[in-house]
Amino acid sequence: MTFGLVSTKLRMCPITTKYRLKFATPEDDKRRAVAFLISNNIRATANTAFKKLSKDHQLWLQIRFEYWISGQRPNKKWFHGWNLSEFQGKYTKCFVFKCREKLQYHRFYGFLRNPKASNPGYQVCVLVIHAYKEGYETDEADLKGVEELRTSPIIIRTIDDYFRGKP
Amino acid sequence: MKIKSKKKHWTERSIRDYLFRIVADFITQLETKMESLPISQDEYAKKLGVTKGRVSQLLNHPGNFKLENIIKYARALGMKVSVIAYDDNDPQNTRGPINSEIFKMCWEQSGKPRDFWAFEDINKQAEVAANLTINVIHVNVGVPFYLPISIGQITGWNFENVSTYYVEKTVSTQIEIKDQDQLEWIQ
C-alpha cells in the first residue's frame, strides 16, 4: 500500500532538471570567467567534486582558473582544450582543468561558450563533469558527456539568459 | 547611503592563503623550467639531495614552502629568485597578486637588465626607437636597439620598397644595425 502511494506520487511529480551557474572567478572580468554548472542532473558532478577536495587542492584549482582567465598559455599539466587534430576535431569547445590529490588525478571537464552579444570575445568555461584519471590519456567518454551537456538547449538558454544584457 | 565595497580576492583571507598563491606561482615557474630543460622529478630530487617523494610533497603543498626552500629549489634548476614588492593601485586586494611570471616576462622583454646602468642603456635605446617617428635616428653602428612594436607601426613608413632582408627583420621587434649602409638607409 505504501509502495503504491509513493510510486503514484513519483509519477505525479516529475522531477524538473534545473540549472544555474556558480562563478569561481570574478564575473566582471573583461575577457574570461570560470563557472560551475549547478544542477540536480546527476551527470553534472564538477561542483560537488570540487567541494569535496581539500582546501589546499581547491586553492590549487582556483589558481589554475585564475591562470586561464589571465591569459596564461595552456599547459597539458594544468589545463587545456582539444584542437582540430584531436578526436577528429569533435571536442574543440571542451576544456579541462587538472589537479592531483595524493595519488588521485582529478579532471574537471567543461566547455567554452561566448555568451555576450556585446562582447563576442568574452569566454566562459562552464565546468560540468568531474572524473578521476590514472594517466594523461583522455577518455573520450568524458568528452562525449561534456558535449551532450554543452549542446543541451536548456543549458545553453541558462547560460545565455544569465549573461543577457550584461556589458 | 552605504557604498557597496568590491569583493576582496581570496588571498586577502589570510597570510597563508596569500603565501599559497605566490608559492603556487613559483612552483608553476619551476615546473615550466623542468619541462624546458628537461629534467625529471627523479633527477631534480638527486640535485636537491632529497627523495622524489619529498619533492612531490613540496611541489603539491605550496603552503609548506619556506623562503630557504624557494632559493634551494630554484638554484637546483640554475635559476635565481628575487622578492618583489609592488603597488598595483589595488590596496584592498580585490584582484589578487600579479603572477610572478608577468614580472619575469617584462624583465626578459626589457633585455634582461642586470643592473641600473643596463636599465638606463635600455631606456636610451628606447628613446632612439622613439626618434624613428620623426625619421631621425641616433644609434651606434653595431649596437642592437629594440622597438616595443613593429617599426612599420612606429614610423608609418611603407615597407614595400624595402629589401627582403630588412622586411624579414621587422617580423620580430628587434632590429640590429649591422653596417653603415643600413644606418644610412634608415636615416
B50 is a domain residue: yes
**Boundary-marking domain end, from B67, B92, B109:** B109
B123 is a domain residue: no
Cα–Cα distance between A44 and B101 in angstroms, integer?
Answer: 34
pLDDT at position B2: 53
Question: Three cell numbers at A131?
Answer: 572524473
**Boundary-marking domain end, from B76, B109, B142:** B109
Mutate to test the interface with B, among A66, A67, A101, A103 (most CBs of B within 10 A): A66
Nearest to A98 by CA among A115, A78, A73, A116: A78
Cα–Cα distance between A49 and A70 in angstroms, integer?
Answer: 24
> Is residue B173 predicted with pLDDT exceeding 90?
no
- The torsion region of residue B168 among left (phi > 0), alpha (psi -120 to 50) and beta comes to alpha
CATH assignment at residue B17: 1.10.260.40
> Is residue B93 predicted with pLDDT exceeding 60?
yes
B13: amino acid identity, one letter = R
> Is residue A107 predicted with pLDDT exceeding 80?
yes
Q: pLDDT tens digits, residue range B45-68? A: 999 999 999 898 888 888 878 999
Contact yes or no for A47/A38 (Cβ under 8 A): yes
pLDDT at position A9: 54
Report cis status (omega within 30 of 0) of the bond before B148.
no
> Is residue A71 predicted with pLDDT exceeding 60?
yes
DSSP annotation of A42 reads T
Contact yes or no for A100/A10 (Cβ under 8 A): no
pLDDT at position A84: 95
Same domain membership, residue B103 and residue B19: yes
Cα–Cα distance between A167 and A120 in angstroms, integer?
Answer: 11
Task: Name the 3-class secondary structure at A34.
Answer: strand
pLDDT at position A29: 92
Contact yes or no for B5/B92 (Cβ under 8 A): yes
**Boundary-marking domain end, from B109, B126, B142:** B109
Average pLDDT, chain B: 75
pLDDT at position B63: 80
Contact yes or no for B22/B97 (Cβ under 8 A): yes
Same domain membership, residue B144 and residue B63: no
Closest CB from B28, B32, B61 relative to A56: B61
Which structural domain range is residue B173 located in? Answer: 134-186
Cα–Cα distance between B99 and B29 in angstroms, integer?
Answer: 10
B60:A100 CB<8 A: yes
Secondary structure (DSSP) of B74-90:
HHTTT----------S-
DSSP annotation of B74 reads H
Same domain membership, residue B17 and residue B70: yes
- What does pTM read for this prediction? 0.78
Cα–Cα distance between B44 and B52 in angstroms, integer?
Answer: 8
Lowest mean pLDDT segment, chosen from A115-124, B78-87, B129-138: B129-138
pLDDT at position B112: 92
pLDDT at position B182: 46
B172 is a domain residue: yes
* Chain B: residues touching A (Cβ < 8 Å): 7, 10, 17, 20-21, 24-25, 28, 31-32, 60-63, 95-96, 99, 101
B122 is a domain residue: no
Average pLDDT, chain A: 90
> Using alpha carbons only, what angle is made at residue B85 by residues A68 and B92, rounded to the nearest 5 degrees?
70
What's the domain count of chain B?
2
pLDDT at position A138: 84
B116 is a domain residue: no
| H helix or E strand, kind and range, residue B58 | helix B52-60
Prediction ipTM score: 0.82
pLDDT at position A164: 92
pLDDT at position A41: 94
Question: Three cell numbers at B44?
Answer: 631534480
Residues of A whose CB is below 8 A from B62: 56, 60
Cα–Cα distance between A59 and B143 in angstroms, integer?
Answer: 47
Same domain membership, residue B143 and residue B100: no
Question: Three cell numbers at B8?
Answer: 576582496
Which residue is listed with cell 623550467? B33
B64 is a domain residue: yes
B96 is a domain residue: yes
Same domain membership, residue B96 and residue B22: yes
> Is residue A103 predicted with pLDDT exceeding 50?
yes
CA B76 vs. chain centroid, Å, equals 20
Q: pLDDT tens digits, residue range A116-167? A: 999 999 999 999 999 998 777 788 999 999 999 999 999 999 999 999 988 8
> Is residue A5 predicted with pLDDT exceeding 70?
no
